[in-house]
Amino acid sequence: MQKKCTFYIVRHGETEWNLKGFYQGQKDSSLTANGIQQAKDVSQKLKNIKFAAAFSSDLLRAKQTAEIIVLEHKMIVETKKILRERNYGRLEGTSIAKAQQELKDTFRKFGDLSADIRFKTPLIDGSETDEKIATRLATFIRETSVAYPGKSVLVVCHGGIMRAFLIHMGFAPKEEMRALAIENGGYFVLESDGVDFFIKETVGVHKGEMV
């Protein structure tokens, strides 16, 4: 039996677009001063973990967060495109509130779908589904588990992909994992043997409430 790899999967710190309420997706926005502090706080929480490797999405906000977390470990962060946030298509860089108003019929019809159908359906043409982004993260975890059996690995990515993965795992129904249910700097600890996944701990992950 292969030894389990332990993953610390972290959401990036707060960004300028988080503050403005914009869809970020695969476009980028720098960390705010608060976002930098959030990354430092995570670094302190995880300072005693001996990471064998550190990975992040190739988007700036995730890479910045990861580099702060492992600064004292003197590690190099390896970036992976597979860890990117959801592609939101034409919504990227636009106001969430404005889009919900201008596309209210689209949002209403999407919201009326059953949870299972919503998981497999893009919100708009050109956007990625929850199923697709959850599969991306699951694939990365399985492949990395095989490479680092018995080791601890840091992964810094994004709220959307983390949330979709947790729903995919059955951690909570979609109705209990709202869009902002993972705080900036929130994380979960997961073990995997390359086949199965086991959630061991969550920090800053909220079910059934907005944060």
The predicted model gives 4-32 an average pLDDT of: 96
| pLDDT at 180 (0 to 100) | 58
Mean pLDDT score of the chain, rounded to an integer? 93
Domains of the chain: 8-202 (3.40.50.1240)
Question: What is the rounded end-to-end Cα distance, in angstroms, of the chain?
Answer: 40
Among residues 72, 73, 85, 131, the one annotated as catalytic is: 85
Among residues 12, 14, 92, 158, the one annotated as catalytic is: 12
The predicted model gives 95-103 an average pLDDT of: 93
The predicted model gives 51-61 an average pLDDT of: 98
| pLDDT at 83 (0 to 100) | 99
| pLDDT at 66 (0 to 100) | 99
The predicted model gives 75-97 an average pLDDT of: 96
- Is residue 12 part of the annotated active site? The answer reads yes
| pLDDT at 151 (0 to 100) | 98
Closest-CA residue to 62 (of 105, 19, 97, 14): 14
- Is residue 191 part of the annotated active site? The answer reads no
For the cut 50, the answer to whether the pLDDT of residue 210 exceeds it is no
What would the pLDDT profile of 127-163 be if each residue is shown by its tens digit?
Answer: 999 999 999 999 999 999 999 999 999 999 999 999 9
| pLDDT at 70 (0 to 100) | 97
- Regarding pTM above 0.75, the answer is yes
> pLDDT tier at 172 (50, 70, 90 boundaries)?
confident
| pLDDT at 175 (0 to 100) | 73
> pLDDT tier at 209 (50, 70, 90 boundaries)?
low
Strands (E) across the chain are located at 5-11, 51-57, 77-80, 152-157, 182-192, 197-205
Q: How far is CA 167 from CA 1, 130, 131, in A?
A: 27, 9, 9
| pLDDT at 178 (0 to 100) | 64
